[in-house]
Amino acid sequence: MSKKIVKIIGSSLNALSLFAPEYASEKALDLFATPRQGRISEKQKAFLNTAKTFQLKHDGLDITTYQWQGDGKTILLAHGWESNSHRWQVLIEELQQLNYNIISIDAPAHGASTGKQFNAILYSECIHVAAQHYKPQIIVGHSVGGMSTGFYQHTYQNKDLEKLVLLGAPSEFTGVFKRYVDMMGYNKKIENGLNNLVVKRYNKQPSHFSLANFAKKIDTKTLLIHDVEDKIIPHSDAELIAKHHKNVEFISTKGYGHGLRNEVVNKHVIDFIQS
């Protein structure tokens, strides 16, 4: 959204909150959880059509998965916000050359999966469904896909998972929320209302959803990569995760931004997978 539209929406919901605070907060949460991009473009279809597709079911949603079959270990890929499985094309092609069995998942409301809204908790449940079906030894997640992967492993403690790779992953849900509130210019009524809605829906304070705290109970060998110039998720989030994870390799990059789409990053990922 343009800065002008952001300002208009923020001001409108602030005004609404003066006489209907809960309704304004619900609208703000809906906006937060609704991706505006990430569906598959015509250009992206050519590559994704080289895979075998399969629809998994979760909570009334059709979750699209793609498989590039190989004889090696199974690797599950989880993209980030407003993206889809196509974001992995270069890495997938490199993994294919090494004969890995590659699975990619489209998150709810992204790619070819159904749904209109998205959050990291829901995504972690979809990753669980995919893990049950495909039995991966390795999961690679980018951005909120990395956060959701960590949430998944903390919740389900999959002992068959050998390795995790988290790329540009946020740590604190409170931080994600705060950046959203600041971007939109919401007042305290809406900010407090958003926090209350999380408690109402999940019976947990937003501060509970902390990948850094969850990492204390994740034994799986993990590679953490984060760029010091990431303008979306601060590098300090990765530092916090690494501080609490007892089995982590932490690599800081510079100049690759939040997307981390770079041959150097791919080499780090593949070297870790093969180690």
81 and 214, same domain (yes or no): yes
**What is the band of 7 on the pLDDT scale with cuts at 50, 70, 90?**
confident
Beta-carbon contacts of residue 124 (< 8 Å; ≥ 6 apart): 148, 149, 151, 152, 155
150 and 184, same domain (yes or no): no
218 and 200, same domain (yes or no): no
142 and 74, same domain (yes or no): yes
166 and 135, same domain (yes or no): yes
50 and 97, same domain (yes or no): yes
28 and 81, same domain (yes or no): no
* Domain region containing 70: 41-172+210-274
Angle at 239 between CA 236 and CA 242, to 5 degrees: 155
81 and 147, same domain (yes or no): yes
Summarised one tens digit per residue, pLDDT across range 53-107 is 999 999 999 999 999 999 999 999 999 999 999 999 999 999 999 999 999 999 9
Mean per-residue pLDDT, 136-153? 98
168 and 84, same domain (yes or no): yes
pLDDT(3) > 90:
no
CA distance 195 to 174: 9
252 and 165, same domain (yes or no): yes
* Cα dihedral 208, 210, 212, 214 in deg (nearest 10): 60
pLDDT(215) > 70:
yes
Specify the pLDDT at position 94. 97
183 and 266, same domain (yes or no): no
Please compute, for residue 209, the number of CA atoms within 13 A of its CA located in the half-sphere on the CB side.
Answer: 25
Structure tokens at 170: 């946020």
- The CATH number for 136's domain is 3.40.50.1820
pLDDT(2) > 90:
no
Q: Taking all residues of the chain, what is their mean pLDDT, rounded to a whole number? A: 96
Specify the pLDDT at position 124. 98
CA distance 54 to 159: 25
- Does the predicted model carry a pTM greater than 0.75? yes
Number of domains in the chain: 2
CB 97 within 8 A of CB 70: no
**What is the band of 5 on the pLDDT scale with cuts at 50, 70, 90?**
confident
